[in-house]
Structure 1
Amino acid sequence: MIKIEKSWRAMGTTNRLTLFGTADERAIDDAIHFVNDYEKILTVNRPQSTIMAINQAAGQKPVTVSATVYQLIKRAVYESNQHFGFNVAIGPLVKLWHIGFSDAQVPSHTAIEHARRQIRSDGIVLDDDKLSVYLPQKGMSLDLGAIAKGYIADRLQDYWRAQGHIAGIINFGGNVVLMNDAPNHVSGRWRIGIRNPLVQHGDTIALIETKAMSVVTSGVAERHLVSNGHVYHHIIDPETGYPHDNDLASVTVLSPKSIDGEIETTRLFFNDGPPDNSDYPFGAIFIYRDQSIKLINIQSSDFHIINQSFYIRETMTYGRSNSTK
């Protein structure tokens, strides 16, 4: 089947879009503009955006936003107030470490403690009637981070489906959306690679077969800082102010919605492994630093190891699954 592909830089990563059943490059270019427009609204890496307007007004006044942005922030605040690791108000800590950027540093303990006093998500004031967001303390700042990436991926999939496209792949770095049935396989199932999470830009170590799904991976190798012989990854614990240290190298979540996958990779990474609830609805892949792998709601027959130094330690099936089948 004919297809078109294009890559470009946005959202701090290299993105790649693939559409099947068309040779019209305008369809891809249109999608890139679609993504870029959302990034302009949601980014904190430019002087001007809707999120930056909220941050710049911290401690001064509420900022009225569009219904779309408001609902996304409201979801982010709700998840933050569950205190499982994700915190939409973590901006001051992220800026302090700035891991993944040229000015990344290990902050002083005093600076970390000061930043931690500015990341109280339960202090964010939301007004459903006015669609306004208020950060009550000067120095507070929102950082939607990966949750924004997941949201944009979901919106692009909706956009493509509304246009009637047969199938497509949205690849935002560690966030991949597989839209509709795979056109090159009779089963309609996709085959997607899982990278070695122990090294930056690692080779594929396994393949997973799945139906149309979002596949989101969060790992410690892609963005990190090396200082005085110590490696600091980018997944900052809002409770301590430091990168969260455990035995995991990466967590991959398979879910119908990409925004859920982004939230769940964070939840599971901070959980230090498989979920505690017996009715966990998503598929998950845990790769540990010792190269062992745990599969949750994924059949071992759908997971094909290529690099034999990695091995499946355990396969677990929970009561309610919405994963690969």
Structure 2
Amino acid sequence: MNQMSIKKTLKRGILFASVAIATFFLMQYLAGCEQGKSVTRSDFLLDTFVSITLYGESDESLLAQPFERIEALNTTLTAFETGSDLGLIKENAGIQPVVVSDDTYRIIEKSIEYSKSSGGYFDVTIGPLVDIWGIHSPETKEAPAPEAINAAKAKTDYTKIILNPADQSVYLTNAGMAVNLGAIAKGYIADEVMAVLKQEGVEHALINLGGNVLVMGGKADNTDFGVGVEDPRNPGNGYLGVLSLKDGSVVTSGDYQRYFVDTAGKKYHHILDPFTGYPADSGLIQVTVVAKASVDADSLSTTLFLLGLDEGLKKVEAQPDVEAIFITNENKIVVTSGLNDAFVFDEENYGDTYTLERR
């Protein structure tokens, strides 16, 4: 990546990078520097900090294909590249279907499944709302006009996507519609990268895509990886506790990751509710999801944040192999039953700030 590209990426992804770097170094510390041989490669991709560490390996060439896969998917699945699949789908909305790559078709197909199962809270056609709000790194600006928000909301409807498996095409039936994969792409990419590593015979790995974490096989000594759960009230500067995990994915969504503040001091975060058109007001400030597949953890972290605590708990309880840690705006941490042994809360440093409830 050339210097100009890095600067462009950093400008849009600096907050994600700082969060991801902090998470990464905590995990590296917990993994232990003397746990035997390992190889690591890092870069700025996907608008964030990306790192892959292989444990019990010393061959750096094993990291070449995984990073090639990330770069290829970054080009294919991004909404910002001219001529990308998503760009062409948007340009041809209401006009004609667009034949897309295998990856684009699969991820949109998967996104529709999540849209249906979430009752529309996860909506892959939220692109117009994302565009009108334009929430990236923290800044001061004004919210869009209500008329503009309502107009964008009217173009958000996953039921108006038509997929044709015969020619692998995607069609948005109404002009102005757009697909946005921001709530699922990193999870999909992490799973694809892990598939490459398994094909290469790797048995112990840690993938960190801007805080989307996917691990395999535990550390080389067969002990668990440790993944820090960030303090949403002081992001980048502390961890409420640590999750222990040998296999699976950990993904967090929070209201502190991307936001802006208007001149009156009101904060607007990036997790948008497709039903209201505004940032979610669900009573939650952070949700951490643990699942086998990163694509599931990624999509669910957004869905649960939108649903709120009560409905979010019902959603988790209805799904096998999914667990979560909810943090409310009243500083209550709710941990689902499957994580009771895996999550260690830092009572000494955070017991006076947060109350912990285990289900």
Q: SS at the partner of 1:218?
A: strand
> What is the CA deviation profile of residues 67-112 of structure 1, one whole-angstrom value per residue up to 9, with x for unaligned ones?
3321221121232234341111111110111111579751000000
2:333 pairs with 1:296: no
2:163 pairs with 1:126: yes
2:310 pairs with 1:275: no
Q: SS at the partner of 1:154?
A: helix
Percent of paired sites with the same residue: 32
The answer to whether the Cα contact below 8 Å between 1:251 and 1:287 also exists between their aligned partners in 2 is: yes
Deviation of 1:312 (Å)? 4.8
Long gaps (5+) in structure 1: 317-325
Q: In structure 2, what is the equivalent of residue 320 of structure 1? A: none
2:138 pairs with 1:98: no
Q: SS at the partner of 2:121?
A: coil
2:53 pairs with 1:18: yes
The answer to whether the Cα contact below 8 Å between 1:201 and 1:222 also exists between their aligned partners in 2 is: no
Flag the 1:181–1:153 CA change in 2: closer, same or farther, 3 A: same
Cα RMSD after superposing both structures: 1.9
Long gaps (5+) in structure 2: 1-35
Flag the 1:225–1:236 CA change in 2: closer, same or farther, 3 A: same
Q: In structure 1, what is the equivalent of residue 357 of structure 2? A: 314
Q: In structure 2, what is the equivalent of residue 201 of structure 1? A: 236
Flag the 1:5–1:105 CA change in 2: closer, same or farther, 3 A: farther
Q: In structure 2, what is the equivalent of residue 236 of structure 1? A: 272
Deviation of 1:314 (Å)? 1.8
Deviation of 1:292 (Å)? 2.0
Q: In structure 1, what is the equivalent of residue 284 of structure 2? A: 248
Deviation of 1:311 (Å)? 4.1
Flag the 1:177–1:110 CA change in 2: closer, same or farther, 3 A: same
2:231 pairs with 1:192: no
The answer to whether the Cα contact below 8 Å between 1:182 and 1:212 also exists between their aligned partners in 2 is: no
Q: In structure 1, what is the equivalent of residue 183 of structure 2? A: 146
2:76 pairs with 1:37: no
Q: Which amino acid aligns with 1:151?
A: Y
Q: Distance in 1 between matches of 2:331 and 2:342?
A: 19
Q: Distance in 1 between matches of 2:43 and 2:275?
A: 35
Q: Distance in 2 between matches of 1:259 and 1:49?
A: 21
Q: Distance in 2 between matches of 1:103 and 1:55?
A: 29
Q: Distance in 1 between matches of 2:219 and 2:142?
A: 43
Number of aligned residue pairs: 314
Deviation of 1:23 (Å)? 2.6
Q: Distance in 1 between matches of 2:233 and 2:268?
A: 13
Flag the 1:189–1:300 CA change in 2: closer, same or farther, 3 A: same
The answer to whether the Cα contact below 8 Å between 1:169 and 1:178 also exists between their aligned partners in 2 is: yes
Q: Which amino acid aligns with 2:324?
A: A
> What is the CA deviation profile of residues 193-246 of structure 1, one whole-angstrom value per residue up to 9, with x for unaligned ones?
111112343422211122311111111111111112011110000101100013
The structure in which a higher percent of residues are helix is 2
Q: Which amino acid aligns with 1:280?
A: Q
Q: In structure 1, what is the equivalent of residue 261 of structure 2? A: 226
Match of 1:69 among 104, 115, 118: 104
The answer to whether the Cα contact below 8 Å between 2:76 and 2:85 also exists between their aligned partners in 1 is: yes
Residues 106-117 of structure 1 aligned to structure 2 (within 5 Å): 106-117=143-154
> What is the CA deviation profile of residues 250-298 of structure 1, one whole-angstrom value per residue up to 9, with x for unaligned ones?
1111111011111211221122114225443211111223332111133
Q: SS at the partner of 1:54?
A: helix
> What is the CA deviation profile of residues 281-325 of structure 1, one whole-angstrom value per residue up to 9, with x for unaligned ones?
211111223332111133434322223245453212xxxxxxxxx
Q: Distance in 2 between matches of 1:21 and 1:215?
A: 22
Is 102-111 or 168-177 further displaced after alignment?
Answer: 102-111
Following TM superposition, the consecutive aligned residue runs of length 4 or more in structure 1 with deviations greater than 4 angstroms are 101-105
Q: Which amino acid aligns with 2:217?
A: N
The answer to whether the Cα contact below 8 Å between 1:42 and 1:49 also exists between their aligned partners in 2 is: yes
Q: Which amino acid aligns with 1:275?
A: L
Q: Distance in 2 between matches of 1:6 and 1:168?
A: 12
Residues 175-186 of structure 1 aligned to structure 2 (within 5 Å): 175-184=212-221, 186=222
Q: In structure 2, what is the equivalent of residue 54 of structure 1? A: 89
The answer to whether the Cα contact below 8 Å between 1:252 and 1:286 also exists between their aligned partners in 2 is: yes
Q: Distance in 2 between matches of 1:166 and 1:149?
A: 21
Q: Which amino acid aligns with 1:166?
A: E
Q: TM-score normalized by structure 2?
A: 0.82
The answer to whether the Cα contact below 8 Å between 2:336 and 2:358 also exists between their aligned partners in 1 is: yes
